[in-house]
């Protein structure tokens, strides 16, 4: 979707990512998703009277890793209190960073060749999670609200981009590339559907060449799809307003995925005095050079570098593979693909099996070695496994572990002896004379009929290509 001629959108993104630490930011409670409500809580993350925060060193390291990957300057920093009342925030203030963030400045180069500047990437704590019952599902007209404080105090890094993004497609690319970086640094699992990465978009429009317009902030976009649609909707709404003679009001807006539209949450001018001041219960955070160096040395290759390694092996990748390739890079699955390509596996299965089979069961990725991945794909390439069987073997290893050959054997995926296949085909020709004569007279569709019958008789152990070879030998 594009804006009318002569108009341009200006977008900056604030990405909140939950850090993948074992414990919360200021206490020893487990940082896990999906536990029974209010089970990972203690006096500190419940904000009980008298409790005090103690900073999680691992959260600082992950924040520094993000900053290093984004070319930020890591600086001595302080924590501030951001004061406002909300039931899912147990202290009624959030510990965040204000004028001295741990990561200042930086940039992110996108695969499309553009560069988006980074203003800051700072540490803060997450809030609890409210569920509003009755009414519209939002707090103002709820009958009852339930609060789960398991998320309260989970460490977050907020990454604020400059207002450098000019299209929803570029916003998507930025978010995807950033997600790849967060996964590569080990800071996050990048799972937007679990809320471990949430995006706020600042959107304004202007006539090309004019100064920036008034911006609106769209809160809590939970998928790349929502990000693209919300930005497109919002930019179009603003252009329409201005062309209709109205003025855009600075406000915070809510994206409704079902309606496909944004609506006013609150007007900026009337709220938002957070009364920031230095958090007196914490001391200054001053990472020394040696610590910064250790973080830098520990960084794994970033997506851009890994993308280069992959593209080097793909002379001219088919356009259809490009999306799958990005999934592979985003999720850090490229070592599988690189190894498969280097072992002589064709690009299509080497990329597709990672982008589909592994990507759909990331929890199991530790159970699948690069060697097993390559071995499975080579079996497929040699015709020892059909494509379907190869996918089943990978899925089984991701779920329960194991070696490809033994998994294939236990599933009964043993290749039929070629003599055996010939016997089956001969038998089917005899039993289906009409179909056979139509096939012989050139009706290629009937090959599928015979393949289906062979699969039925062999419980799927045959290879389609070999069936066709047998048929053609008898034609």
Partner 1 sequence: MKCARQMALDVQNGDTSAVSVLEESLAQIRSRNEELNVFLYVDEEGARAAASAVDERVARGENVGSLAGVPVALKDNLCQTNIPTTCSSKILEGWRSPYSATVVDRLLAAGAVPVGKTNLDEFAMGSSTENSAFGPTRNPHNTSRVPGGSSGGSAAAVAADMTPLALGSDTGGSIRQPAALCGLIGVKPSYGLVSRYGLIAFASSLDQIGPLTKTVSDAAIALEAIAGHDPLDSTSLPEPSPSLVAHVEDGVAGKRIGVVRELIDGADADVVASVERAVEVLKEAGAAIVELSVPEFRLGLSAYYLIAPAEASSNLARFDGVRYGLRVKADDVTAMMEATRTAGFGEEVKRRIMLGTYALSAGYYDAYYGQALKVRTLTIDAFRRAYREADLLLGATTPSVAFEFGSKTADPMAMYLSDVFTIPSNLSGEPAISVPFGTGEAGLPIGVQLLGPGRSEAQLFAGARVLEIADGRP
Binding-site ranges for partner 1 (CB under 8 A) = 43, 46-55, 81, 83, 85, 87, 90-93, 139-140, 145, 147, 273, 275-277, 280-283
Q: How far is the CB of 139 from partner 1 (least distance, A)?
A: 7
> By C-beta, is 275 or 465 nearer to partner 1?
275
> By C-beta, is 273 or 430 nearer to partner 1?
273
Torsion sign across C-alpha atoms 396, 399, 404, 409? negative
Q: How far is the CB of 234 from partner 1 (least distance, A)?
A: 27
Q: How far is the CB of 147 from partner 1 (least distance, A)?
A: 7
Q: How far is the CB of 124 from partner 1 (least distance, A)?
A: 16
d(C-alpha 408, C-alpha 359), whole Å? 21
Of 387, 318, 385, 380, which is closest to residue 347 (Cα–Cα)? 318
> By C-beta, is 153 or 213 nearer to partner 1?
153
DSSP character at residue 187: S
CA distances to 163, 336, 360, 407, 410 from 400, rounded to whole Å, are 46, 19, 15, 10, 13
Q: How far is the CB of 102 from partner 1 (least distance, A)?
A: 16
Of 236, 212, 233, 225, which is closest to residue 163 (Cα–Cα)? 212
C-beta of residue 96 within 8 angstroms of C-beta of residue 291:
no
Of 256, 258, 239, which is closest to residue 248 (Cα–Cα)? 239
> By C-beta, is 147 or 171 nearer to partner 1?
147
209 by Cβ neighbours in 10 Å (0-12 / 13-18 / 19+) ranks as exposed
d(C-alpha 190, C-alpha 330), whole Å? 9
Q: How far is the CB of 24 from partner 1 (least distance, A)?
A: 14
Q: How far is the CB of 281 from partner 1 (least distance, A)?
A: 5
> By C-beta, is 109 or 141 nearer to partner 1?
141
Strands 155-161 and 197-207: unpaired
> By C-beta, is 89 or 227 nearer to partner 1?
89
> By C-beta, is 145 or 261 nearer to partner 1?
145
Q: How far is the CB of 148 from partner 1 (least distance, A)?
A: 13
CA distances to 37, 222, 272, 453 from 197, rounded to whole Å, are 20, 7, 23, 48
Q: What beta strand segments (E) does 85-162 contain?
A: 93-96, 103-104, 107-109, 115-125, 129-133, 144-148, 155-161
> By C-beta, is 55 or 299 nearer to partner 1?
55
Q: At what angle do helices 464-474 and 446-458 cross, to 10 degrees?
A: 120
DSSP three-state, residue 41? coil
> By C-beta, is 131 or 388 nearer to partner 1?
131
Q: How far is the CB of 330 from partner 1 (least distance, A)?
A: 37
In angstroms and rounded to an integer, the radius of gyration of the C-alpha atoms of the chain is 28
> By C-beta, is 146 or 362 nearer to partner 1?
146
Q: 166 Cβ partners below 8 Å, 6+ apart? A: 8, 9, 10, 11
Q: How far is the CB of 17 from partner 1 (least distance, A)?
A: 24
């Amino acid at each position: 979707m594009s804006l009318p001629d002569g108009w341009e959108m200006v977008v900056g993104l604030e990405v909140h990512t939950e850090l993948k630490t074992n414990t919360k930011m200021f206490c020893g409670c487990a940082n896990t998703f999906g536990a029974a409500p209010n089970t990972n809580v203690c006096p500190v993350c419940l904000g009980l009277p008298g409790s005090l925060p103690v900073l999680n060193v691992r959260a600082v390291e992950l924040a520094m890793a993000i900053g290093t990957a984004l070319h930020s300057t890591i600086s001595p920093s302080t924590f501030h209190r951001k004061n406002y009342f909300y039931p899912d925030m147990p202290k009624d203030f959030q510990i965040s960073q204000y004028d001295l963030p741990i990561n200042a400045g930086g940039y992110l180069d996108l695969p499309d060749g553009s560069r988006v500047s980074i203003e800051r990437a700072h540490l803060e704590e997450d809030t609890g999670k409210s569920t509003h019952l009755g009414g519209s599902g939002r707090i103002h007209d709820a009958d009852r609200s339930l609060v789960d404080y398991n998320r309260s105090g989970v460490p977050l890094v907020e990454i604020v981009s400059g207002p450098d993004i000019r299209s929803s497609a570029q916003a998507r690319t930025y978010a995807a590339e950033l997600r790849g970086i967060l996964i590569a640094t080990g800071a996050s699992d990048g799972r937007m559907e679990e809320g471990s990465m949430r995006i706020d978009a600042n959107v304004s429009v202007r006539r090309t060449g004019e100064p920036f317009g008034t911006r609106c902030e769209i809160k809590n976009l939970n998928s790349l799809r929502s990000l693209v649609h919300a930005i497109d909707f919002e930019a179009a709404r603003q252009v329409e307003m201005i062309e209709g003679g109205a003025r855009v009001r600075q406000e915070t807006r809510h994206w409704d995925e079902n309606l496909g539209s944004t609506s006013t949450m609150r007007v900026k001018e009337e709220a938002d005095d957070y009364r920031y001041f230095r958090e007196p219960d914490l001391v200054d955070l001053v990472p020394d050079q040696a610590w910064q160096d250790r973080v830098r040395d520990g960084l794994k290759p970033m997506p851009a570098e890994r993308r280069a390694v992959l593209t080097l092996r793909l002379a001219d990748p088919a356009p259809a593979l490009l999306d799958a390739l990005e999934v592979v890079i985003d999720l850090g699955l490229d070592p599988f693909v690189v190894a498969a390509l280097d072992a002589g596996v064709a690009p299509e299965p080497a990329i597709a099996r990672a982008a589909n089979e592994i990507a759909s069961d990331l929890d199991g990725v530790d159970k699948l070695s690069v060697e097993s991945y390559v071995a499975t794909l080579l079996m497929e390439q040699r015709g020892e496994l059909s494509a379907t069987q190869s996918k089943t073997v990978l899925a089984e290893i991701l779920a329960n572990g194991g070696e490809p050959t033994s998994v294939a054997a236990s599933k009964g995926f043993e290749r039929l002896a070629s003599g055996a296949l010939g016997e089956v085909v001969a038998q089917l020709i005899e039993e289906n004379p009409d179909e056979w004569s139509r096939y012989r007279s050139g009706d290629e569709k009937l090959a599928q009929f015979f393949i289906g019958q062979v699969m039925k008789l062999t419980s799927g152990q045959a290879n389609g290509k070999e069936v066709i070879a047998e048929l053609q030998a008898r034609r």
